[in-house]
Structure 1
Amino acid sequence: MQTPALPLPESRPLVPPALRGVLPVLLAVPALVLFQWALSGSEFASYLLNVMGVNIILAVSLNIVNGMTGQFSIGHAGFMAVGAYIAGYASLQLKEVALSFLPVAASDQVLFTVALLLGGLAAAACGFLVGLPSLRLRGDYLAIVTLGFGEIIRVVVQNTDAFGRALGLSGIPQYASPSMVFFWVFLVVLAARRLAASSHGRSLWSIREDEVAAEAMGVDTTGYKVRAFVFSSFFAGIAGGLFAHFVPIINPGSFTFVRSMEIVVMVVLGGLGSTTGAVIAAIFLTLLPEGMRSLFGALGTEGSLAQRVDQIRMPIYGLLLVVLMLSRPQGLFGTREIWDVLPKWLSRKGGGRA
């Protein structure tokens, strides 16, 4: 007679359910404080990390539209420009304001956060206004509409006195720091991963795979595409607001079609639909030109030679991108995340050694 199997004891989760939502924040805040303290002595390192963080926010946010939803937007720099100019103008207006109940540094950060949110909300509103009529379109038609929006924003700021016209907007307080920038990096990555795992995210994936079948199953494809567009535009506006607060001046030349295509390249290189792929591609494409500049600068320090090597730096950069896309047309990770890919790579290496 067999004895009945005893039920296995229930394993308690390592993290209580009540803390799962706030645990990432509790871990990120002290890490960012240490991060800021470690970089306090290097201005160039701080600037480079700020640029890297802004690129990560832009790539991850665009990945929601181009990767998860399967649309093709090439006007992301336009939403970045809206956030940059609105946040910068708000900071200029609030520069003389001080919250008496807070220390000066804390008051500046609170006002900076208000300006960022205003820039993000303005970009989200533009995303809604552009997305509502245009996201009924598909493919190349949507790309043309978003490209037109980016050019319209650039022309508007070039002819607006409050935004400095073609000369740009200067005198914006330099509030942005690597810790603040990477706090928003943490937020956009967390929001993107939560969205991908939610019911809304599954609807977006279904639209990407087969929009006709998604409509047949009752998915409001236009509504979900507009929500994804607003989500993406909000964080693009945040990235623009951060950018405006660590560069000396913002002008229309910083938000051209070329800037939009740089962001698209980051998303495609990382893998359409992969959040961690967008992060790694943004880091790689930010550091690669700087690394090549340092390398060529070390090879030729004379005036004429330095000019020649700097002229060939960008063609080599483009050639490397072409080689990467030919060797990995699906991007670094495809639609998967880094934790899905690394175990397979490690198991292959281990099998080869055995």
Structure 2
Amino acid sequence: MKDTVKVPWKAYILNAFCTVLIFVALSGMIEAKVIDKYIQGIIMLVFVNIILAVSLNLTTGFLGQIALGHAGFMSIGAYTSAIITKAVKDLPDGSFLQSLPPQLIFGVALLAGGILAALFGILVGIPALRLKGDYLAIITLGFGEIIRVIMENLEITGGAQGLRSIPGYSTKYFGMCYWITILSIVILYMLVRSRHGRAIMAIREDDIASEAVGIPNTYYKVMAFSVAAFFAGIAGGIYAHYLRILGAKSFNFSRSIEIIVIVVLGGMGSMTGSIVAAIALTILPEALRSFSDYRMLAYSIALIVVMIFKPSGLFGRYEFSLMGCIDKILGKGKKRSKETAVEGSVK
């Protein structure tokens, strides 16, 4: 008998339904003014941090390489997309580009920022990923600082004064940013679950053994690094069109550390963990803003407590399954395990 691969269509349909339901709920609350501009801004930062966290998790969690320059790729995407949309906005009235839908211009600008960030990821990744551990972390950290200094001294980026008057497309096209975030998660999840993802995880477990069985380590390391850089560039573009003012200091070393903290807290090797941690670590500082004197202290203590009692992160390498939870509630999980045990004993 041929082995049949069971495709979890029920789980896919349920996840798609919940995703659409969340979008409808958020859009409805924004239209009804239940969600004001301040809360909408926090949600936009959640989108940005989710994309940054799941993309860095590909490099740090699934590939097992510590990278400290993710904010550098974010800045490349941010400035590239902002310069494009700002240039189109400043064109004379009646020009061809100005006649195009703003959503299309915004989408093309985000894509351009992501592609340029990916190219820089390849350029940095080819020499850097031949190193391991602390050396790789130092090189990526240096790259992030080099990018920040360059952005701070280029005329096209506004120099030390920063880039201003960026169109506020992120807030205007909230739904578009939501679906870009969902699409980023889906693409990265599919990549991790593909044969390429299994090769990447094999390198994480033992790079010598993976190379011995024929896996091209350098190719997959550079691929994972450039894909992560691409999505960091996309996140940077959304961030730029939300903030509307860009300064190089927004992408310094501490920004890269913030992204690493989200990945480590959620669990290195868990997409679900990165999403939950990104939501929590974006909302928590804002929720504690009324305790301005103590909020960073409470934030730090919360991180220390989690790392002491759950050093693998909130989720470790576990992925949350909504369908699995429903099966457990309905008691199907135990039934399936018993059936599997019976089939095993018969064989």
Fold match by TM threshold 0.5 = yes
Q: 1:121 deviation in Å? A: 0.6
Corresponding position: 1:199 with 2:199: no
Q: How does 1:133-144 map to 2 (within 5 A)?
A: 133-144=127-138
Corresponding position: 1:110 with 2:104: yes
Which residue of 1 is the match for residue 152 of structure 2? 158
* 2:15–2:322 Cα contact (<8 Å) kept: no
Q: What is the alpha-carbon distance in structure 1 between the residues aligned to residue 161 and residue 78 of structure 2?
A: 15
* 2:61–2:270 Cα contact (<8 Å) kept: yes
The one-letter code matched in structure 1 to 2:247 is: N
Q: 1:32 aligns with which of 23, 41, 56?
A: 23
Give TM-score, length-normalised by structure 2.
Answer: 0.84
Q: 1:118 to 1:33 in 2, by over 3 A?
A: farther
Q: What is the alpha-carbon distance in structure 1 between the residues aligned to residue 247 and residue 96 of structure 2?
A: 35
Q: What is the alpha-carbon distance in structure 1 between the residues aligned to residue 25 and residue 59 of structure 2?
A: 33
Q: How does 1:175-186 map to 2 (within 5 A)?
A: 175-177=169-171, 178-186=174-182
- Provide the secondary structure at the position in 2 that maps to 1:311: coil
Corresponding position: 1:325 with 2:307: yes
Cα deviation 1:193-230 (Å, max 9, x = unaligned): 10111000000110011111101111101100100011
Corresponding position: 1:95 with 2:89: yes
Q: How does 1:11-22 map to 2 (within 5 A)?
A: none
Q: 1:32 deviation in Å? A: 3.4
The one-letter code matched in structure 1 to 2:205 is: E
Q: 1:13 deviation in Å? A: 7.9
* 1:57–1:184 Cα contact (<8 Å) kept: no
Which residue of 1 is the match for residue 78 of structure 2? 84
Range 310-319 or range 160-169, more displaced: 310-319
Q: 1:159 deviation in Å? A: 0.6
Corresponding position: 1:172 with 2:166: yes
**Structure 1 runs (4+) greater than 4 angstroms displaced:** 12-16, 22-31, 96-104, 340-344
Q: What is the alpha-carbon distance in structure 1 between the residues aligned to residue 123 and residue 7 of structure 2?
A: 44
Q: What is the alpha-carbon distance in structure 1 between the residues aligned to residue 153 and residue 191 of structure 2?
A: 38
Q: What is the alpha-carbon distance in structure 2 between the residues aligned to residue 287 and residue 341 of structure 1?
A: 27
Q: What is the alpha-carbon distance in structure 2 between the residues aligned to residue 101 and residue 39 of structure 1?
A: 33
Q: 1:342 to 1:317 in 2, by over 3 A?
A: farther
Q: How does 1:1-354 map to 2 (within 5 A)?
A: 32=23, 35-40=26-31, 41=33, 42-96=36-90, 107-177=101-171, 178-294=174-290, 296=291, 310-339=292-321
Q: 1:292 deviation in Å? A: 1.0
Q: What is the alpha-carbon distance in structure 1 between the residues aligned to residue 301 and residue 125 of structure 2?
A: 34
The one-letter code matched in structure 2 to 1:182 is: Y
- Provide the secondary structure at the position in 2 that maps to 1:324: helix
Give TM-score, length-normalised by structure 1.
Answer: 0.82
Q: What is the alpha-carbon distance in structure 2 between the residues aligned to residue 61 and residue 290 of structure 1?
A: 24
- Provide the secondary structure at the position in 2 that maps to 1:172: coil
Q: Which runs of 5+ in 1 are unaligned?
A: 1-9, 297-309, 348-354
Q: 1:312 to 1:30 in 2, by over 3 A?
A: closer
Range 90-99 or range 80-89, more displaced: 90-99
Q: 1:102 deviation in Å? A: 11
The one-letter code matched in structure 1 to 2:48 is: V
The one-letter code matched in structure 2 to 1:290 is: E
Q: Which runs of 5+ in 2 are unaligned?
A: 330-347
Which residue of 2 is the match for residue 304 of structure 1? none
Q: What is the alpha-carbon distance in structure 1 between the residues aligned to residue 193 and residue 57 of structure 2?
A: 15
Cα deviation 1:299-323 (Å, max 9, x = unaligned): xxxxxxxxxxx23221221111111
- Provide the secondary structure at the position in 2 that maps to 1:223: helix
Q: 1:101 to 1:53 in 2, by over 3 A?
A: same
Q: 1:209 to 1:59 in 2, by over 3 A?
A: same
Q: 1:203 to 1:57 in 2, by over 3 A?
A: same
Q: 1:14 deviation in Å? A: 8.9
Cα deviation 1:110-162 (Å, max 9, x = unaligned): 10111111111110010010001111111111101100110000000111011
The one-letter code matched in structure 2 to 1:53 is: F
* 1:83–1:122 Cα contact (<8 Å) kept: yes
- Provide the secondary structure at the position in 2 that maps to 1:39: helix
Taking only the aligned residue pairs, the percentage that are identical comes to 45
Q: 1:248 deviation in Å? A: 3.1
Q: What is the alpha-carbon distance in structure 2 between the residues aligned to residue 64 and residue 317 of structure 1?
A: 25
| Rg (Cα) greater in structure | 1
Cα deviation 1:17-64 (Å, max 9, x = unaligned): xxx8x9988985686365334224311111010001000000000000
Q: 1:342 to 1:264 in 2, by over 3 A?
A: farther
Cα deviation 1:237-277 (Å, max 9, x = unaligned): 00000000011311011101000000000000111010010
